[in-house]
Amino acid sequence: MSVQGSVETTSLPSENEDDQIISIAIDAKDEAGLLIGAHGATLSALQSFVAIALKQQTGSWYRVVADIGDWREKQEEYLRGLATQAAERAKATGEAQHLYNLTSSQRRVIHTALSEDGSVETESQGEGESRYLIVRMK
């Protein structure tokens, strides 16, 4: 089996001056769904593989962000919307909103999206697969 497409890599600065982000944009047209996988699982595995390969070759860890057909961008847009909805529900009801079944990178997007909203706070609780995110009023 072969997959036709193109790959573009760029090096991006991160919030931490010592870190470097390697961005990989993959254009696979017809095979995009195959490379993304269910809920982005194949894309995440590919991203992890590249990060480990870079560590073995260079001796340094790099944060690798891979995207296929703007899937990650669309996913982040969805997560920012989810964050806004959870914050609005927390404000309207006064009750903490729990968001389950999120990966660490998905929780990071929501934490970041709500960090500028001074009326709510976010917190991750739990361990491993049971970790979840809480959005509540300050």
Check residue 17 and give its pLDDT: 59
Q: 73-137 — its CATH code?
A: 3.30.1370.50
Check residue 18 and give its pLDDT: 64
pTM of the model: 0.79
The string of pLDDT tens digits covering residues 83-122 is: 999 999 999 999 999 999 999 889 999 999 999 999 999 9
Check residue 111 and give its pLDDT: 97
Tokens coding 54: 């870079």
Check residue 47 and give its pLDDT: 93
Domain 6-69 has CATH 3.30.300.20: yes
DSSP string, 36-96: H-GGGHHHHHHHHHHHHHHHHHHSS--EEEEEETTHHHHHHHHHHHHHHHHHHHHHHH-S-
As annotated, the residues of the chain forming the CATH 3.30.1370.50 domain(s) are: 73-137
Tokens coding 134: 């809480």
As annotated, the residues of the chain forming the CATH 3.30.300.20 domain(s) are: 6-69
